[in-house]
């Protein structure tokens, strides 16, 4: 009746999606990848897109936590409320998440429409796009005006696909990896590669219909470095144009495609990048063709500078250079989280090198 489901913290979402569909249920929103555990997905604040939808932890209505002392705590909006607010985005530092209870929705299919546009058009009509599609995002191809707009909306139409293995894998994966590897020797090729792949794979309208999780999940290609910060939604245009200008003014700085732009509803989770504000996530990427690292420091620091200037907060599971001082400024509830953490784990059993940068 409540359409809620309790799972062990270690279940992969890829398994959960299949189990839920057997019961005629689904999660209202999912990230790009489902080969991740339920406890980890909420612990890092995984998100997708859709201005009516929050980050994935907003779908959590209860959880159980095994603390450093060996105590098992039941947490929800009515029991251990403060711990629940902290544990919905827990960074792995409050204890072991044993179970998670998700609020589900009836199973649904999504109709995905992808079509070409320009950065100017999308930024000038952002409000219209957000109203037009429940799960709207767009991909900008750096060093150009090219944009691929993606609309995803619930539908009753039967599943269908216009995707092709040849284009998506042979070209979109193997050829891209090879060309990006060559560009490590001739960096100026990146501008050409971005334009060429837009023309090849993104310049015509494509439609797909499938069960929701098959549309939410998508191919992230090969190894990559990423940053993904959330800024107040009203700063979207300004920040993106600033990044574009920075690339234009510095010809030696190259950026792989795409810059993925997504939109998420604000929430009240203490360490959520969307805490108390509707947000725009701007994800930048540098691929590692055949595992080779591509110089990215300049691009990384330029992007971080723009994000910080516009009040950004970094995705907890992606690259960033922030320390406790930054987080204290970014998160009004940071002291509250710290006091819950210190109470639950006074000796730092759950600390690691990353968390020490966050809390010390």
DSSP secondary structure, 103-152, as one string? E-EE--EEEEEEEEEEHHHHHHTHHHHHHH-TEEEEEE-TTSSEEEEEEE
In the chain, how many domains are there?
Answer: 2
- Burial of residue 225, with CB atoms counted within 10 A of its CB: 0-12 exposed, 13-18 middle, 19 or more buried: middle
The total of other beta-carbon atoms located within 10 Å of residue 353's CB is: 6
Q: Do 117 and 193 lie in a common domain?
A: yes
Q: What average pLDDT score do residues 140-156 get?
A: 98
Q: Do 82 and 123 lie in a common domain?
A: no
Beta strands 313-314; 105-106: pairing state: unpaired
Q: What average pLDDT score do residues 184-200 get?
A: 95
Q: What average pLDDT score do residues 54-68 get?
A: 98
* 164 pLDDT higher than 80: no
pLDDT tens by residue, 239-254: 999 999 999 999 999 9
* 170 pLDDT higher than 90: no
Q: Do 142 and 193 lie in a common domain?
A: yes
Are 136 and 260 contacting, i.e. CB atoms less than 8 angstroms apart? no
- Tell me, yes or no, whether 328 lies in a domain: no
The total of other beta-carbon atoms located within 10 Å of residue 181's CB is: 16
- Tell me, yes or no, whether 329 lies in a domain: no
- Tell me, yes or no, whether 320 lies in a domain: no
Nearest of 295, 319, 296, 317 to residue 307 by alpha carbon: 319
* Domain hosting residue 174, numbered range: 110-314
Q: Do 193 and 294 lie in a common domain?
A: yes
Q: Do 87 and 124 lie in a common domain?
A: no
pLDDT tens by residue, 278-303: 999 999 999 999 999 999 999 999 99
- Burial of residue 163, with CB atoms counted within 10 A of its CB: 0-12 exposed, 13-18 middle, 19 or more buried: middle
Q: If you count them, how many residues does the chain have? A: 360
Are 277 and 243 contacting, i.e. CB atoms less than 8 angstroms apart? no
* CATH code for position 118: 3.40.462.10
* 185 pLDDT higher than 80: yes
Share of the chain above pLDDT 70, in %: 99
- Tell me, yes or no, whether 324 lies in a domain: no
| pLDDT score recorded for residue 219 | 77
CA 166 centroid distance within chain: 27
Beta bridge partners of 112: 152, 208
- Tell me, yes or no, whether 319 lies in a domain: no
Q: Do 58 and 117 lie in a common domain?
A: no
d(CA 209, CA 265): 25
- Tell me, yes or no, whether 10 lies in a domain: yes
- Tell me, yes or no, whether 61 lies in a domain: yes
* 171 pLDDT higher than 90: no
Q: pLDDT band for position 55 (50/70/90)?
A: very high
Q: Do 36 and 155 lie in a common domain?
A: no
Identify the residue with better confidence: 170 or 261.
261
| pLDDT score recorded for residue 304 | 97
Q: Do 99 and 240 lie in a common domain?
A: no
Beta strands 135-140; 146-155: pairing state: antiparallel
d(CA 305, CA 285): 16
* CATH code for position 25: 3.30.465.10
Q: Do 103 and 132 lie in a common domain?
A: no
Q: Do 168 and 255 lie in a common domain?
A: yes
First to last CA, the chain: 45
> Would you say the C-alpha torsion 27, 168, 149, 232 has a positive or negative sign?
positive
pLDDT tens by residue, 91-119: 999 999 999 999 999 999 999 999 999 99
Q: What does 224-277 look like in DSSP terms, one character per residue?
A: EEEEEEEEEGGGHHHHHHHHHHHHHH-TT---PSPEEEEEE--B--TT-TTBTS
Query: Rounded to the nearest 10 degrees, how much is the dihedral formed by the CA atoms of 304, 256, 144, 31?
Result: -70
Q: What is the pTM of this model?
A: 0.95
Q: Do 260 and 170 lie in a common domain?
A: yes
- Tell me, yes or no, whether 327 lies in a domain: no
Q: Do 210 and 90 lie in a common domain?
A: no
* 54 pLDDT higher than 70: yes
| pLDDT score recorded for residue 172 | 79
Q: pLDDT band for position 165 (50/70/90)?
A: low
């Amino acid at each position: 009746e409540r359409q809620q489901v309790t799972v062990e913290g270690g279940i992969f979402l890829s398994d959960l999606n299949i189990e839920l569909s057997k019961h005629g249920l689904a999660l209202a929103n999912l990230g790009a990848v489902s080969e991740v555990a339920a406890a980890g997905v909420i612990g890092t604040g995984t998100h997708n897109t859709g201005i009516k939808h929050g980050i994935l932890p907003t779908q959590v209505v209860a959880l159980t936590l095994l603390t450093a002392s060996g105590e098992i705590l039941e947490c929800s909006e009515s029991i251990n409320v403060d711990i629940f607010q902290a544990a919905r985005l827990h960074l792995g530092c409050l204890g072991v998440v044993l179970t998670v209870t998700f609020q589900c929705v009836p199973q649904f299919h999504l109709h995905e429409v992808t079509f070409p546009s320009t950065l100017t058009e999308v930024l000038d009509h952002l409000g219209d796009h957000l109203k037009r599609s429940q799960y709207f995002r767009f991909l900008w191809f750096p060093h150009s005006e090219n944009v691929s707009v993606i609309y995803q909306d619930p539908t009753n139409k039967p599943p269908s696909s216009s995707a092709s293995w040849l284009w998506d894998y042979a070209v979109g994966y193997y050829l891209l990896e090879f060309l990006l590897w060559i560009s490590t020797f001739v960096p100026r090729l990146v501008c050409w590669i971005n334009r060429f792949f837009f023309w090849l794979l993104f310049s015509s309208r494509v439609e797909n219909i499938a069960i929701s999780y098959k549309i939410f999940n998508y191919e992230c290609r090969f190894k990559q470095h990423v940053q993904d910060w959330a800024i107040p939604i009203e700063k979207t245009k300004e920040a993106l144009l600033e990044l574009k200008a920075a690339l234009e003014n510095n010809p030696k700085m190259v950026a792989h495609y795409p810059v993925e732009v997504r939109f998420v509803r604000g929430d009240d989770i203490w360490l959520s990048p969307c805490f108390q504000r509707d947000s725009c996530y701007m994800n930048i990427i540098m691929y590692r063709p055949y595992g080779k690292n591509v110089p990215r420091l300049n691009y990384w620091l330029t992007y971080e500078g723009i994000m910080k200037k516009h009040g950004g907060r970094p995705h907890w599971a992606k690259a960033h250079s922030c320390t406790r001082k930054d987080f204290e400024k970014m998160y009004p509830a940071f002291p509250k989280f710290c006091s819950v953490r210190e109470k639950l784990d006074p000796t730092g059993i759950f600390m690691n090198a990353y968390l020490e940068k966050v809390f010390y």
